[in-house]
Amino acid sequence: MTPAGSLLHASALRKAYGTTPALDGADFSLHAGEVVAVMGPSGSGKSTLLHCLAGIIGPDSGTVHYGNRELTAMSDAERSALRRADFGFVFQFGQLVPELTCLENVALPLRLTGAKRKEAEARSLEWLERLEVDTVAAKRPGEVSGGQGQRVAVARALAGTPRVVFADEPTGALDSLNGERVMTLLTEASRATSAAVVLVTHEARVAAYSDREVVVRDGVAREMVGAV
């Protein structure tokens, strides 16, 4: 079970790639609706932690609970069903399907969970409007700017009204102005839908958008002390 009040809880996660330790006893807790920034040096284990929390990879040992369910004890099929129903994802780049239009990209996860095309596309268009990129709805990802593409990716992550959004350096490939705008839109939209966010970032300024900061060092996650 997760401790009272927390939605997602990881305990003593360990993961090694061959002889390289990536996680070395990491604990992590997330409350419903909370925005948590995950920071730390390159190679410290941030992406590995996020992938374990989201059930994309399994740790070598340790547990991840989501509500009263243990993610680390589920079958692959159960985990993918949970991911599709309850989680949204935004990565640094390369996540949009190049053959589909931006609108179809946003609609794709909705279609996969059974929504009818018309309904999925109407809802997707609303999300593109909210992220201020409805003008690129009919374009393919290769025909839009980096910032527009990331906003489309945020729209796609949020369109399924997930309870948790996992974002791994969603603005890492953008200039600071575009990055800031994407960050504002991501956190505003998440707060509006009460989605919790786990946000991996190198940007110290992201503190302004988060409720809490966690720093990962050498595969161990610690609460940032003195953070406002």
Ligand X SMILES: Nc1ncnc2c1ncn2[C@@H]1O[C@H](COP(=O)(O)OP(=O)(O)OP(=O)(O)O)[C@@H](O)[C@H]1O
Binding residues with ligand X: total (CB under 6 A): 11
Least separation in angstroms between CB 79 and Mg ion: 21
Give yes or no for residue 171 binding Mg ion (CB under 5 A). no
**Which one among 2, 6, 29, 47 touches ligand X, defined by CB under 6 A?**
47
Give yes or no for residue 106 binding ligand X (CB under 6 A). no
Cβ proximity to ligand X, 40 vs 55, nearer residue: 40
- Partner from ligand X, Mg ion, none binding residue 75, C-beta < 5-8 Å depending on class: none
Give yes or no for residue 45 binding ligand X (CB under 6 A). yes
- Partner from Mg ion, ligand X, none binding residue 42, C-beta < 5-8 Å depending on class: ligand X
Q: Give, to the nearest 10 degrees, the angle between helix 117-130 and helix 102-112.
A: 130
**Which one among 7, 10, 13, 22 touches ligand X, defined by CB under 6 A?**
22
Q: How far apart are CA 5 and CA 122, in angstroms?
A: 35
Give yes or no for residue 47 binding Mg ion (CB under 5 A). yes
Give yes or no for residue 105 binding ligand X (CB under 6 A). no
Binding segment for ligand X (CB under 6 A), chosen from 45-53, 147-155, 159-167, 182-190, is 45-53
Least separation in angstroms between CB 62 and ligand X: 15
Tokens for 172, please give them.
């890492």
- Partner from Mg ion, ligand X, none binding residue 65, C-beta < 5-8 Å depending on class: none
Give yes or no for residue 201 binding ligand X (CB under 6 A). no
How are beta strands 164-168 and 220-223 bridged, if at all?
unpaired
Give yes or no for residue 94 binding ligand X (CB under 6 A). no
Least separation in angstroms between CB 45 and Mg ion: 9
- Partner from Mg ion, ligand X, none binding residue 48, C-beta < 5-8 Å depending on class: ligand X
